[in-house]
Amino acid sequence: MTIVDGPRQPRRLVGMGIGLLLLVGTTAVVGVQTTLAQQGPSVARGARVFNDNCQICHGVYAQGRMGPPLLPLPQEIATAPRTALIPELTGLVRSGIPGHMPRFETGQVSDDDVGALVDWFLFMNSQPRPGRSFYEALAPATTTQSSDTVTYVAATKHTIAGAFKQFYDQQGGAGRLGNPLTEEYAGFSELDATPLTLQLFERARLEFVNGEVRLSQIGGAELELRTHFIGEGPGDHPMP
């Protein structure tokens, strides 16, 4: 199986049992293939809770969508005891973040659900990642020289290369898409969980999958987010 690290070069992973990461069912991360149920009922429950309540904002496998990425966890969180993480997450779920994150009542996300979320996050964070994370891609580029295949943008200290550079140049460059805000990073399609490579720009997010570059459906994702709770009963998912 070939996983594309980015438009610059493919990386072949030999002899590894790799499947798609599924929030309910089979979880597969690089070098690991198992089922959530085998991790215990709490991890499987946490996957369902995330899928039902969090994925709409934070994206498939918490990779980020309209809300920020939640995985990988910062080291200080990943190494904290479970008993300390549960009350912290409970406070966040119950209070929300005004203007950014809805608060959830106990009837929507129970205290046991929060504990299961913690177990799922800790389990997922313990698995090898398929490539560079979003937060790693925020670091300034190591390359500072432009060439025929790489453009270094001093304003944001990031590069555009390979297929992304070709697409970027053809589609109007900075005038239309803005400057790059990250380097390339690994993620998954919101449509079918296909592994892909992404890069974030000021006015666009590019995706590289199946040998082609495409614009991600950020506008569609925002519309889905803003209309997600419409039609549910009064008081459902109250916004602070």
Instruction: Tell me the pLDDT band of 65, cut-offs 50, 70 and 90.
Output: confident
pLDDT in tens, 157-175: 999 999 999 999 999 999 9
Name the DSSP class of 139: S
Other Cβ atoms closer than 10 A to 222? 12
Would you state the pLDDT for residue 8?
46
In the chain, CATH 1.10.760.10 covers 2-126
Strand pairing of 32-35 and 195-201? unpaired
User: What's the chain's average pLDDT?
Assistant: 79
3-state helix, strand, coil in the chain (%, to 5): 35, 20, 45
Q: What is the mean pLDDT of residues 33-53?
A: 79
Name the DSSP class of 178: -
CATH level 2 (architecture), domain 2-126 = Orthogonal Bundle (1.10)
Q: What is the mean pLDDT of residues 196-200?
A: 93
- Tell me the CB-side half-sphere exposure of residue 216, using CA atoms within 13 A: 26
Other Cβ atoms closer than 10 A to 33? 13
Cα separation, 201 vs 188, whole angstroms: 18
Q: Which residue has the higher pLDDT, 128 or 180?
A: 180
pTM passes above 0.95: no
